[in-house]
Chain A
């Protein structure tokens, strides 16, 4: 019995010492990717569309973003624009670079800069905002802007998706902007500036990465902003038929 035991002991020792020699010399620390914060990138276009107005105006419009980062900190480039096909000019061209970090289970705070470079006067703003999912599945994006000249304004985007089926989706979106001070040069009056309401019916054609849609968009200006627009011969209210696609990759 004891002979067997010592034999086993020797064998076990012999076998285990070999790997031990190797492992004893280096600490095994987990330096694999698993132990690092997961870095993710993505790109999404909520809107990428052609608009045709009741005034025969034609626009190319997009609203999208690119992000890179971890759960704790993401960098995000948001881009929005309206390109007038007839005038071959950007009526609106807005880019934001923000850093984004979670502040609650469902909301992120973001801070950064916004550059407006349409045809006409440029503007640069500081941005402070929150984005996330409100109860009952409303996607909310609310921002406060302060321009270089101290003009402040706020913008609220809300979106809701209704699943007609698991591929047919009816999305309702509301954008509203409010200015706390007048910026005459860019036609913004104090108070409620404008709203854009849209309803789009989409179909997820390729996963969720390509979803063509058709829809209707209503734009309206209010108060002084409406008066400024009228004074310059512009419209206070526009209806658009839209066709486009939601993209993500």
Chain B
């Protein structure tokens, strides 16, 4: 405390003294060249992705954002803990930035790690309005590295965000080119027999659900730091160096399975917070998540960073090499995943009596509340096979490492140092993630944002959120302004994140120390799911006078729990 106070005070006084970190960003129309196609998009300081903003923990930053578009814009500082009026969500934190206007964001930087920023207006983010944030810690980090690179993943689509939304509304499978075909029927028949295949198809047809609904949006070119697979972004290293790779998934809709053939990765940070190091061969990065990994290539050779989309419809590729121009083989895409009945747990419109193929006991087994008392040793699956407690048992989406090695699970993430004292939650709020694929509607507790009341929280509470995913898709749920402590069964070592992926047919718990007054956004970070209604406003009432003053005026809407 004694050490912190002077630093904090200094940080607060810096702006007065004119020594604050000042940054300038312009929001511009840009051309994006993916190597496969060129398109008009939106970027920062004339390019997409925008610049990497480097802050220092304890610094007071001032960011002047000039809107050069002919429409309103905004910037949200994804994962940053700041006063709500600086959070950058139009209609929730502030009115937005008008064309031609320069808006100055001003907030103290109270954390370290890898984050990113993006527009929270319309479909500007899918259209290219994102950049990375790297915050250097005040103290020493519990791991060493010689050099670092930001690896920002995006899914660039030839269509504009507005057009994609319209097409999905008109034909929800518009962009799905991994559907089951007649050929797959016959290959399934030869694998599983005619009767099994037939009853499988009938069970799915009866529900009007598709086993292929893994990715809403296909046909994109996946980019790393703005470069397509052919353009091959390259990071240089010297053999023996430890390289810190700051993976950020800034995609609109795409989960990636990331591996670097030939290199073991040590995950040291998740969503900007240090975790106890875990060695993996591959990890899945949800939309809006970040993972920092350390790799140590010893040989004088090139390595491919290969990020395959979860639905296997595309990949991002970059290279780590001792010198520019060197390349390593690029792996092929694996077979597209197929959902199973386990992924349909509690599905709307589903008649449970019909589900002969489904073992009901599996559904109960999905409840992660039982994990609290579980021995962690047994949670890291010993068979090395397709099992992960954060997926429905028997789910078709359970990832496996391409080399048969270790695939990261949420269950492997343990906080390096707990940010909060361990305490009992004051209450639980259940949020069912709901939707209807045929109508392309997405909602929470069956209610779309347009019809929903805000979620009201009291300052000082510790709220336990229970996510029940009743849809067949994975939803990266992102709470603004406060941390989300994911219950992986590690008590005070539960990892602290800003985005929590909830797999189909599963229940996931997270807890939040309600320590930030104001109004905050809370939503699925898949752009088109959020736009279709999987979105909520969270109002935090009460709080210390100083903090409350900032929030009070804004909190006057009627509303209740969800």
Contacts and interface: CB of A to CB of B under 8 A. Distances in A.
B20 to A, nearest CB: 11
Contacts of A163: 179-182
A23 B553 contact: yes
B91 A31 contact: yes
Contacts, number: 146
B450 A8 contact: no
B348 A105 contact: yes
A30 B95 CA distance: 9
Contact of B535 (A1, A34, A42): A34
How many of chain A's residues touch chain B, expressed as a range? 35 or more
A9 interface: yes
A133 B438 CA distance: 8
A17 interface: yes
B468 to A, nearest CB: 18
A7 interface: yes
A29 B91 contact: yes
Interface string A130-153: 000101110000000000000000
Interface in A1-37: 1, 4-5, 7-9, 11-13, 15-17, 19-20, 22-37
A162 interface: yes
Interface stretch (B4-12, B425-433, B494-502): B4-12
Q: Which of A26, A137, A166 has the most CB of B within 10 A?
A: A166
Interface string A69-101: 001000000000000000000000000000000
A4 B5 contact: yes
B438 A40 contact: no
Interface stretch (B34-42, B164-172, B379-387, B474-482): B164-172
Contacts of B13: 11
A117 interface: no
Contacts of B549: 13, 16-17, 20, 24
How many of chain B's residues touch chain A, expressed as a range? 35 or more
B422 interface: no
Interface of A: 1, 4-5, 7-9, 11-13, 15-17, 19-20, 22-38, 40-42, 44, 71, 102, 105-106, 133, 135-137, 162-167, 207-208, 248
Nearest to A42: B170
A204 to B, nearest CB: 9
A20 B174 CA distance: 46
A132 to B, nearest CB: 8
Contacts of B225: none
A105 B205 CA distance: 15
Interface in B109-145: 121-122
Q: Which of B121, B177, B180, B206 has the most CB of A within 10 A?
A: B177
A36 B174 CA distance: 24
